[in-house]
Structure 1
Amino acid sequence: MALTDTRIRQLKPDTKSYKVADGGGMFLLVTAKGSKLWRMKYRFDGREKLLSFGAYPETSLARARERRQEAKSLLAEGIDPMAKALADKDAAAARNEHTFSLIAAELVEKLRKEGKAETTLQKKQWLLDKANQDFGDLPIRDVSPAKILATLKKVEALGNYESAKRLRSTIGQVFRYAVATARADTDPTYALRGALIAPKVSHMAAATNREDFAAIVRAVWGYEGGSPSTRAALKLMALLYTRPGELRLALWEEFDLENAIWTIPASRTKMRREHVKPLPALAVQILADLRHETGSNYRVFPSSIARDKPISENTMNQALRRMGFEPDQHTSHGFRASASSLLNESGLWNEDAIEAELSHVGADQVRRAYHRAAYWEERVRMAEWWANEILIFLSDSDR
């Protein structure tokens, strides 16, 4: 006999669960605790299976019968309704769990575990935040090229052409990771190549002739503004010409002042390998004086605003602006080009030794080992020679 709502309401729990049939394999399971659960028994590929349609009254009698009919229609087409229900459940979970923002966060964490520099990760997260604002909550499969382009165009409209280009690249990286982990089928940013205004290629501004660089050195040593960290960092940029992030994020534990060695950890170098630099006597003295001024802080160049954070690259560039050097004249990164140009111009040093000091050595393992072993003594002499050149620039100003 088919069920009715009246009869269902009258069903009472017993000491054991029992079934009340509605026909077509569907029945209501009344549990000992009083729950009333819709079930449907069917056979597929010779095996007996059991579908669940929910509980009464949340799933009404009419809705349960609709679901029974849907299941019978699938069976008529040779489709297992249980397998279909599980696939639909997985698809719904994927839509809710595999959002762009969650996959992007996974990617950033993966890169962190692979040893990418924290500054690189921060820049990547800054870009991803722009994407997350617009479509971070969407399932990644629902993020279309049109949605991505709208976000890129907002950045481009501000005149930030390079940022728009990097944002497209970063979004593409998220999609390629999603494809690799079977949560997306394609990278839609590929279709957007050529859609953005190409930024003009500009190199880091640097003084690359002796006279101009000498003027910068004299300005840096005569600068009385900023914090002790900023003043020392600029002097050491001139002396050591590392990448700005390698210097300003330095910790005291990396320095062996007694043996005049600075070991930059692989996590902070562009090439992701440890880089050991010889320290000229002038650099050792600057570092010793700075430590006396800044005290026991574990950072070599603590910010004057937040002592647990380092100075920023912008802090050094702003100091150069206050000295009168415009962005197209010299930047903190420009000290590398200045040193490279003048060291090569001197004709005193092996080009490979200069490249090794700049941490430009290629990826070949044998060549890297050779550079470290063969050029160390030359690099030590070169470091002292370069420091002496800077002292000459300073002494020239007194004449």
Structure 2
Amino acid sequence: MGGMTNKLTELALRNAKPGTTTKRLADGGGLFLEVRPNGSKYWRMAYRYGGKQKLLALGVYPNVSIAKARKSAQQAKEQLAEGVDPGLVKKIRKGTNATDNTFQAVAEEWLEKFKHQWTESHLKSISGRLRRDIFPWIGARPVGEISAPELLSALRRIEARGHLENAHRAQTNAGQVFMYAIATGRAERNPAADLRGAIPRPNVSHMSSITDPKQVGELLRAIDRYPGSPITRCALQLTTHVFLRSKEIRFAEWSEFDFEKAEWRIPLAKMKGRKRDKEISGSAFHLVPLATQVIDILREVQALTGQGKYLFPGLRSTTRPMSDATLTNALRRMGYSQEELHVHGLRATARTLIRQELGFDEEPIERQLGHAVKGPLGAAYNRADFIEERKRMMQAWADYLEKLKTGEIS
């Protein structure tokens, strides 16, 4: 079961004797047999969801065999991998009736169960989009019977209004509902996945970003609540504070950090378009001053990955960095569509707010972004690192983000 080593045998189960207190016989991977003082034997699976420890009841032995219990535990693990609480799935299946199977009923259930992962504005946006553009056309249909052409017909109506971005967002949200229906046993296919390329992409050349301070505060709180890997959460937190490119974050190595000096020195060979900067500035590194809040983030992730090479290793191999899609997928899981926010857009967020709200000049901002500047500023600009100014700026930016997150300013 997922590489788990099973420990229990049929003989051990039959011979398990009750004691004066309830005891647990572990099978591995969270699955265990609970033997109560009265002789009853119950299959249970321990798991974590939303940061909380939970138990899933899988039946009574011997009515439920060890093979069946292991199969149920494996299904629960697959549901967890999809971001779904297996305990909730069981509860839903137990009380499901015909009306619960309509697309609208499943969608509203999905909104209710996952709304805590999104900001208020995103919840309002998603629910409004479904109720306005999807429910009138397929809301009353059984979710397991909806075909790709049926969904496409609803999306075409949005496209006909000239709202291509909204059509793609509606397709994404519908797909999330179908995936939830699959996880809860009410559908077998996701027709939204069959429609890739069916709706033209909007002509968007920029990386989506948010520059409204209130929305930035909502984003920071959503990141803190991110229910996935704590390593991914720390990577997002670091990205908002140091506004480097995704690749520069993902390939960060512990050997590049000096906590005493509060510095991160990135070899220029790892920086986009900076390989020749050594000839200009005389330095082989791009310096990132570390604010106190950033040090705290690094200390947290150090406890998780500090024994390896990378701050943010991949999920499958600690010898390779986090994949390019991990941070993007995390934003999508939090409810941010591609048109609303792109990881690279966080650089534009920082650049805009540091200028507008904190009043720093262009030169240190651009230098911190790792840009080589052309035009009147020229080589003189590139030879100046603005180190002291950048140290003040990075601490001011971290302080500002903290106040946005707490709501002290908005």
- TM bucket (normalised to shorter chain) is 0.3 to 0.5
The TM-score with structure 1 as length reference comes to 0.47
Of the two, which has the highest radius of gyration? 1
